[in-house]
Chains A and B, each alone.
Chain A
Amino acid sequence: MQSTSRPVVQAEKLGKQVLSPAGQLIILQDIDLTIHAGETLAIVGVSGSGKSTLLGLLAGLDIPTSGRVFIDGTNISDLDEDGRARMRNQRVGFVFQSFQLLASLTALENVMLPLELAGAVAPDIEARQRLTEVGLAERLQHYPNQLSGGEQQRVAIARAFAGKPQILFADEPTGNLDQKTAQQIIDLLFSLNSEHGTTLVLVTHNPAIADHCERSLTLAGGKIIAS
């Protein structure tokens, strides 16, 4: 089944270096990777191994210093920042460890935001639907600081699915949550994922969560050591 799906994200000889006070610091090196439509992929590794950096590159939040990333066949380095923004808006959804909701907007407005940015016709209708799916139909007008961590992450998940992205990137989405809530969030994420038929790339250091995914790759010192 995998072989018949088309690739949505491809990385070729991907590398990332930054200039630190101590000199050039290599964060990622020689990453080759293909992610197919509809698959679920876990990226695991110890803290500092480069997981978030890789995720950011695959999602087009940053550009590599060497190698190339293709999203839907487009080299993200060929796009300007606005082009990448459009790409993220149309094809990509995010869930972050620290929720990253806009504190000035209500739950509903947070979910509407990507839809509005895309110029959707009736953003509030879809946003309500997404929030209902995550079980927050009653909390539409609440601000993030009026919600618990788990609820905030639900809003973030609803926002990630708004606009029907092809691919979802989640960076340790349960890192800030207690075990029970974490399990609920993971279950929600996976069930919505299969419901929407989205491709899911999930960063975690928890092997139990990684086991939910069809495939996993392990990073260490900026390199893939197992796949």
Chain B
Amino acid sequence: MKTFSLAVNALRRDWRSGELRLIAIAVVIAVASFTSVSFFTDRVLQATELQSAELLAADLVLLSGRAIDAGLIERANAAGLISSRTTSFRSIVIVAEKLQMAEVKAIEDGYPVRGHLRISNTLFGEESITTELPAPGTVWVDVRLLQILNIEPGDQINLGASQLTVSKVLTYEPDRGGDLFNIAPRLLMNMIDVPATELILPGSRVQYRLLLGGKLDAIKQFRQMIESNNEDDLKIHSIRDARPELKSALERAEQFLGLAALVSIALAGLAVAMSAQRYAIRHFDNCAIMRCLGAEQSTITNIYFIQLLILSVISSLAGCGIGYIAQHGLSALMSGLTPEALPAPSLLPVATGLLTGMITVLGFAMPQILRLRNVSPLRVLRRDLAPLPLRGITTYIFAVVALALLTPWQSGNIHLTVYMLLGIFVTGLILTGSARLMIHWLNHLRSRVGVAARYGLANIARRKNQSIAQILGIGLGVMVMLLLTLIRTDLLESWSNKLPDGTPNYFLINIQPDEIEMLQAFMQQHAALTTDIYPMIRGRLTAINGKAVNPNVYKDQRAQRLVSREFNLSWARDLQAGNRLVAGNWWSAHETDNTQFSVEQGIAETLGINMHDKLTYSIAGQDITGEVTNLRWVEWDSFNVNFFVIANPGKLEKYPGTYITSFYLAADKKKLLIDLVKRFPSVTVVDIDALLSQVRIIMQQVIKTIEFVFGFTLLAGLIVMFAALQTTHDERIHESALLSALGANRHQILASLIAEFLCLGLVAGVSSAFSATVVALALAEFVFKMDVFINPWVWLIAPLICSLVIVLGGLAGTRKVFNTAPMVALRKI
């Protein structure tokens, strides 16, 4: 208790004298950026997902293999949610002698909960938005089914035991599913007509969905309730499962935000560590006196520990307050993007923010504070008796533990965290190494420069450890700022370039081998388009390494779906643009002896396929087995034709297959499609215009978010630089006063300060340009999977900005020297 009141009094004193302000500011920034960033990652991405709800036809979709029970619907309604059920299954549609497998979806009032259906009265006719459902006794079918069965609106079809009338052409359905080309033609019917078809029997494969809509909070709560109840026949379907194109965009955004958050905490931590160092040095005398007066070492530690704890709580709360205000700013930024205002933030960020602040302070400041217990009471007699400097390892251990405690909340991505820590570590090494080299070299230079510069250079060398720490702090700050700038620019650019005007908005599928040439000629003649055509063969994965594949062993719904149906294979001689090998090698043209497969990384993960596994596909009743010789990453958000599994040439050609192509057609040329379908009746047109514009909107939002978060990280970087400079301000001010007493004029003092700051800035700038380039390349290659263009100007700009900021910041921090009498400054020791 005595210690506590001692600590409180000391805190009050130190606060008044301004000694703790920098630590407090660093914590405030750390916590503010933490809370805002966690808000961004959480809520904005959530809002973005909501925005994408259009593509799900709902805010939340629950899937089940059994009919949705009434109790669940009641619960949803009680939670203030609107709901609508759908029932989907595959069935044969019969018209005269023609049979066709179709994807049937039965819907009821309220469908779709989000988004709209679009229909037309005739094939490629005027499209219109509708809020109605197919009337009982009628169905709406898509262009493909019309083409295949060669029917028109008004014709009759047979579905199970029922005969139904085709009343409209279905042109757009928000939740038509992930794979645009894998699905059978579609048929939409009224739920009332389902029993009469007698198609749903025990054991038949039917998917029941409950589409839900409502306020963000209510949806979130309901989702959490479902998740925690762990009702195993209920699956939650989110936008990520629905659209691989969005998946990769959202994942990159999340990764970037995670990185930015992590980095701002690490930087703020660094700032805390550096200000704590200054604080500790300023308190050596106090501690020596206290020790002299009989304070035990533990008392000293406790006093400062309690002081820091109180400080961290207070400044964390202030940081939370700022974060809270920033959240409001963000809501304003986001308004208009979401149909609803974002919900008021919960108290959770305050709790995590508080914890973050405390961990940051204790993790990064404690090692310095622990030094104080080792102050020798003898210092009272000999002031230059400072406790041993910290062993680097102590600082690192505390910092790494603190970061490790903080990261799980920030990024669920272990890769990113590891790369980030590795990046910091490597940068630290580079910076320390180059700082040592420079100090060594400068010491040689010392005898050859003028007195002012000599004094500046001598300072760098004498304050060796501090100089290294400063270069480290400043360099890391600049490195991170550069890194985020580099990545951000490329990330944003790659996104805005990703879907340029002219991105394919139509796909042609079902092209027969003998139609290829004619079709290409047709496209060339009528639309001046050269089209790449890819082969497509339907096959079902039957065995992996000779073991039969059983859909039921997969927990993942998507995996079950993927192995229980046929999907598209292709063959290719060359690796397609927008694909990147992540394991193994691409085959060369003459490797035709064995069958080889190239598998997309994501699907390999989902299905548990590894390099060198033997995959057996059943194609048109025949088994073909080949080895996985490489894994690919695919840029799905490019909207190009891509395949999950590709074989080497010469193996699949003999099986019956069709071809696929994609192209861009301006809205006013849409008429061409009618000619095309007439000319090539078997070819099916898939329109993805609506999907494209949706994805574009979402990317715009993500870009805005990233810009905002980026600002915070820059702030954290600046604080580190500031804190690093601050660590030696006291010494500089005192020494400058002494120089002045000995007769140095302002010009000479200024020159010595500039010499010192300039050297620090140049070294920090060059080394950080180097590390930023390396880390950016690594992140681009291994995490973001994109091409980063490293602007060579960073080598000039980084040292320039670095020196400028350090010289200006340093002079601003020590400007006192120039307007105080030397007597006053000399007294202060």
Contact = CB atoms under 8 A, between A and B. Distances in A.
Interface of A: 52-53, 56, 61-63, 81-82, 85-90, 92, 94, 96, 98, 100, 102-105, 109, 113-114, 116-118, 143-145, 149, 159
B741 A88 contact: yes
Given A62-B821, A98-B383, A102-B735, A117 B743 contact: yes
Given A104-B461, A109-B458, A144-B384, A96 B742 contact: no
A117 to B, nearest CB: 5
B743 A88 contact: yes
B383 A117 contact: no
B675 to A, nearest CB: 85
Contacts of B745: 81-82, 85-86
A47 B818 CA distance: 29
Nearest to B735: A102
Given A100-B738, A113-B455, A117-B748, A89 B823 contact: no
Contacts of B440: none
Interface residues of B, number: 31
Given A62-B824, A81-B818, A89-B744, 16 more contacts: A61-B822, A61-B823, A62-B823, A85-B740, A85-B743, A86-B743, A88-B742, A98-B383, A100-B738, A102-B455, A104-B735, A113-B739, A114-B743, A117-B451, A117-B742, A118-B743
Nearest to A91: B743
A91 B813 CA distance: 31
B26 to A, nearest CB: 27
B821 A113 contact: no
A113 B382 contact: no
Contacts of A104: 455, 458-459, 461-463, 735
Contacts of B739: 102, 113, 117
A194 to B, nearest CB: 23
Contacts of B459: 104
Given A56-B823, A61-B826, A105 B742 contact: no
B742 A145 contact: no
Interface of B: 382-384, 451, 454-455, 458-459, 461-463, 735, 738-748, 818, 821-824, 826-827, 829
Nearest to B734: A100
B743 A90 contact: yes
Contacts of B462: 103-105, 143
A88 B451 CA distance: 17
A144 to B, nearest CB: 7
B742 A94 contact: yes
A63 B821 contact: yes
A143 B384 CA distance: 12
A81 B740 contact: yes
Nearest to B446: A109
Given A82-B746, A104-B462, A149-B382, A61 B741 contact: yes
A53 B824 CA distance: 10
A102 B743 contact: no
Contacts of B461: 104
B826 A96 contact: yes
A61 B821 contact: yes
A85 B743 CA distance: 4
Contacts of A89: 742-744
A92 B826 CA distance: 17
A149 B504 CA distance: 82
A145 B829 contact: no
Contacts of B823: 53, 56, 61-62
Contacts of A86: 743, 745
Nearest to A159: B742
13 contacts: A56-B821, A62-B821, A85-B746, A88-B742, A102-B738, A103-B462, A104-B455, A105-B455, A105-B458, A113-B739, A117-B451, A117-B739, A144-B384
Contacts of B738: 100, 102
Contact of B826 (A87, A100, A103): A100
A114 B157 CA distance: 106
A120 to B, nearest CB: 10
B733 to A, nearest CB: 13
Nearest to B384: A145
Contacts of A90: 743
Given A61-B822, A62-B822, A117-B451, A94 B748 contact: no
Contacts of A105: 455, 458, 462
Given A61-B823, A104-B462, A113 B746 contact: no
B580 to A, nearest CB: 53
Contacts of A63: 821
A145 B389 CA distance: 15
Contacts of B822: 61-62
Instruction: Enumerate the 3 nearest inter-chain pairs by beta-carbon distance, A residue then B residue, closest first.
Output: A89-B743, A104-B462, A62-B823
A57 to B, nearest CB: 8
B816 to A, nearest CB: 13
B826 A117 contact: no
B386 to A, nearest CB: 9
B379 to A, nearest CB: 13
A99 to B, nearest CB: 9
A106 to B, nearest CB: 9
A100 B383 CA distance: 12
Contacts of B455: 102, 104-105, 113
The interface centre, meaning the residue of B458, B463, B741, B818 with most chain A CB atoms within 10 A of its CB, is B741
